[in-house]
Amino acid sequence: MKTRFLLSLAWLCLCASFVVAQTKTENVILVSLDGARCEEVFGGLDLNVLKSKTRSDRKVEDSALYKQFYAATAEERRMKLMPFFWGTLMKEHGSIAGNRALGSAAMTTNKMWFSYPGYSEILTGQAHDEVIKSNDRIRNQFPSVLEFLKGKLKLNDKQVAGFSSWDVMNWIAESKEGSITLNAGYEPYDLNDPRIKVMNEDMKGAPSPWDSVRHDHYTFEFAMAHLRRYQPRVLFLSLGETDDWAHGGNYEQTLKALQRNDGQFKALWEYLQSTPQYRGKTSIIFTVDHGRGPTPLNWMDHGEKVPEAQYIWMAFVSPDSALRGEWKNAETIYQNQVAATLSKWLKFDYAEQNANAGKPIAQLFGGK
Ligand SMILES: [Zn+2]
């Protein structure tokens, strides 16, 4: 009798651990908005920045941006700027860390606070400040989580894909060139699709103001076309306009880029919900490569000399996480945890590739 009891106890434990190990996630998507500040993501229009951009003989209240995006509270302002992200995604499907006013912080562990080190930390799970010191087009010597997942899931090069507005992503996102689908900068997207062929021509004829960054519209539409055609299990969508307009001091276009990105999130989400391979089986992380300065004098800038540019934000939408809304009084999370978190959702231990990588974000898996 006792043996039977022990045996059934053992069986119960086995079942319980089996249940715990199960996740619904079959696909992962990583979305990044280059240098999108916590101030706008959590608070919408920053009145101090707008005031600093307003001519001294004009009233800030008369500006078109004020009329379009201003409201009394941070919650109302961000809803005006990113209505889908806040009104649907974060309310009904996911959660977001990094609002320090609520006691939640997300940070880089790299001390550089610019793009290549940030994306490399996200994708490889570790900061490498001794090696990665610039945004130069140098092949990343550290393998990315995209490459890791391709190997673990035994996928072909179409089923793991990255689309980026910034051309340097071709060097950052894979350590072995050509192992995954990567399309970045002004690179045409080679797909047998009449609309994409027209877009490739338009991209050449209607460039953005920047040599190395195309408009997010192309990046997004190419990624969506790839998603529809190949149904990748792992997708990286890296949008860039939020950073470049800000560097140019153009606050109006910075906000409008973020607003367009919100519309892209809506289109992406609606596609995922309409597709059996993705609906209820897809986990998404939205994040940023670095922060920026918090004041009207330094909101355009980032980098090690800009205070607070290490503060980032991270949002999670997953059938395997019950968290909703903003994180409050939570332990700080780090940029180097993204790779392990994406892996864990797909039931893999990222430490197999990089034992020094940040660990999966405990709060998403029932921890504190
Ligand atoms: Zn950046």
Q: What is the mean pLDDT of the chain?
A: 95
β partners of residue 80: none
What are the chain's domains?
A: 26-365 (3.40.720.10)
Q: Residue 366 Cα, ligand 1 centroid: separation in angstroms?
A: 31
Q: Residue 289 Cα, ligand 1 centroid: separation in angstroms?
A: 6
Q: Residue 114 Cα, ligand 1 centroid: separation in angstroms?
A: 5
Q: Residue 337 Cα, ligand 1 centroid: separation in angstroms?
A: 18
Q: Residue 177 Cα, ligand 1 centroid: separation in angstroms?
A: 22
Query: What is the reported pLDDT for 367?
Result: 74
Query: What is the reported pLDDT for 7?
Result: 54
Residues 6 or more apart in contact with residue 250 via CB below 8 angstroms: none
Question: Is residue 114 scored above 80 in pLDDT?
Answer: yes
Query: What is the reported pLDDT for 366?
Result: 87
- What are the tens digits of pLDDT across the range 131-190? 999 999 999 999 999 999 999 999 999 999 999 999 999 999 999 999 999 999 999 999
Q: Residue 238 Cα, ligand 1 centroid: separation in angstroms?
A: 10
β partners of residue 213: 166
Residues 6 or more apart in contact with residue 56 via CB below 8 angstroms: none
H/E run at residue 121: helix 115-124
Q: State the virtual CA torsion across 133, 291, 341, 102 in degrees, nearest 10.
A: 150
Q: Residue 135 Cα, ligand 1 centroid: separation in angstroms?
A: 9
Share of the chain above pLDDT 90, in %: 93
- What are the tens digits of pLDDT across the range 6-15? 556 555 555 5
Q: Residue 89 Cα, ligand 1 centroid: separation in angstroms?
A: 24
Share of the chain above pLDDT 70, in %: 94
Query: What is the reported pLDDT for 251?
Result: 98
Q: Residue 32 Cα, ligand 1 centroid: separation in angstroms?
A: 10
pLDDT band at 22 (very low <50, low <70, confident <90, very high): confident
- What are the tens digits of pLDDT across the range 241-250? 999 999 999 9
Question: Is residue 71 scored above 90 in pLDDT?
Answer: yes
Q: Where are the beta strands (DSSP E) in the chain?
A: 27-33, 94-97, 106-107, 160-164, 181-184, 234-239, 282-287, 311-312, 314-317, 325-326, 333-334
Find out whether 241 and 167 touch, Cβ atoms under 8 Å: no
To the question of pTM greater than 0.85 for the whole model, the response is: yes
Q: Residue 31 Cα, ligand 1 centroid: separation in angstroms?
A: 13
pLDDT band at 227 (very low <50, low <70, confident <90, very high): very high
